[in-house]
Structure 1
Amino acid sequence: MQGYLEKRDLERTAVRIFIRLYNQNYANKLRLLYQRERPDAVLQHRNHQIIGVEITHLFYDSEEAKRLLGRSQSRNLNQEVVEMLIAELNKRIQTKEMKINNYATAYPIALIIRNASPAFGMSDILRAKELIYKPQGRFTHVWFLSRDGSDEWLMKDLQQL
């Protein structure tokens, strides 16, 4: 039960960051209708259009995830390289694409990826954009949320790269 609640809290935080950034940049404002399991959240535009969102968090590796979630005290002494983070990003996109094939929804679905790794920011990812897996059209958007050396969150649609 603890893992489920933690996952739900992480997803709620990610969707709130996304909605704030989206509403700052687009006229057709969004709001959270509810969280659920398939897809992770359901949002509604001001014009009443419904959209589902799948949410995932990107960590450099499992040890970083454990450390950042308070489950490990170890310090990663390995040299971190952006290519490894992008390989993990690509796996996340592909896994979520396979997952939504089993969804029976009457509305489109977008993907939100929240970069939780403090090792790399938005500019690091964009500099290596040619390595990012190109989504196969199952999602309306693939929104990437990341910081970039500050506490401010940034948002980019990876399908627009």
Structure 2
Amino acid sequence: MTSDTSHNSSGQPLSHSEHEKRLLERDAARLFMRRYEQETGQPMRHIWHNEPAKPDISCYFEDHQLDLEIAHLYATAEEARHIRAPDRTDRLWFYLAELAIIDDPCEQLKMALLTLLNKKAEKHYDSDRVWLVIRNASVLWNRAQILRIQQAFDKQNHPFEQIWIIPDFDGEEPLIRVA
């Protein structure tokens, strides 16, 4: 376990892509922890990264360790590559936002979320308590659409104590608990 996003627990440097992944995970975990505390009054503290056998991030919640598996929800592979760019204001970003106005993508959202949940549920987590935190990284989907399809999670089998969605990339909207 380490709080360093550039090195693994044995001090070896991470690849550029693994470093970027850890930065996104840490950012999502911080957004989630901050929103959770604002909304419930219950603090989560001391964030650190884990090695692959454990969930992505660990913290302390109610004086006990809680592990967070972090996932980012993208509409397309191109969007996933784009979100990592430091400047997210180019033409592609505006194009994707325009697509969101034209189509009602609720079924695509439902399929994407269930696919993501099934993928994460297949993993084995060496942990007693794991929450799945999904950060919506797509401009195609919004909080209202997520609320409309959240009942799809009720019947899913998964190893997570709770499942939460950060409905917007910047973490400004209220969290959604889906399971």
Same fold (TM over 0.5): yes
1:52 is paired with a residue whose SS is: strand
2:159 is paired with a residue whose SS is: coil
1:154 is paired with a residue whose SS is: coil
Task: Tell me which amino acid in the other structure corresponds to 1:56.
Answer: A
Output aligned runs, 1:74-89, within 5 Å. 81-89=105-113
Following superposition, the deviation at residue 138 of structure 1 comes to 1.3
Cross-structure match for 1:63: 78
Does residue 103 (structure 1) correspond to residue 120 (structure 2)? The answer is no
Following superposition, the deviation at residue 93 of structure 1 comes to 0.7
What number of residue pairs does the alignment pair up? 154
Runs of 5+ consecutive residues of structure 1 not aligned to the other structure: none
Task: Tell me which amino acid in the other structure corresponds to 1:22.
Answer: Y
Partner deviation per Cα, 1:38-90 (whole Å, 9 max, x = no partner): 21011102x311111100000012122123333x9765697652211221111
35, 47, 50: which is aligned to 2:49? 35
Cross-structure match for 1:54: 69
Deviates more, 1:25-34 or 1:14-23: 25-34
Closer/same/farther in 2, CA of residues 137 and 128 from structure 1, 3 Å limit: closer
Closer/same/farther in 2, CA of residues 134 and 62 from structure 1, 3 Å limit: farther
- C-alpha distance in 1, partners of 2:151/2:177? 14
User: TM-score, normalised on structure 1?
Assistant: 0.82
Task: Tell me which amino acid in the other structure corresponds to 2:65.
Answer: I
Q: Contact 2:32–2:171 at 8 Å: present in 1 too?
A: no
Does residue 8 (structure 1) correspond to residue 22 (structure 2)? The answer is yes
Q: Contact 2:55–2:126 at 8 Å: present in 1 too?
A: no
Q: Contact 1:60–1:88 at 8 Å: present in 2 too?
A: yes
Q: Contact 1:32–1:41 at 8 Å: present in 2 too?
A: no
Runs of 5+ consecutive residues of structure 2 not aligned to the other structure: 1-14
**TM-align CA RMSD:** 2.7
Partner deviation per Cα, 1:101-159 (whole Å, 9 max, x = no partner): x2322x311100000001111111112334447432511110110139x9723201111
- C-alpha distance in 2, partners of 1:123/1:139? 24
Does residue 146 (structure 1) correspond to residue 167 (structure 2)? The answer is yes
110, 133, 149: which is aligned to 1:128? 149
User: TM-score, normalised on structure 2?
Assistant: 0.74
Q: Contact 1:67–1:73 at 8 Å: present in 2 too?
A: no
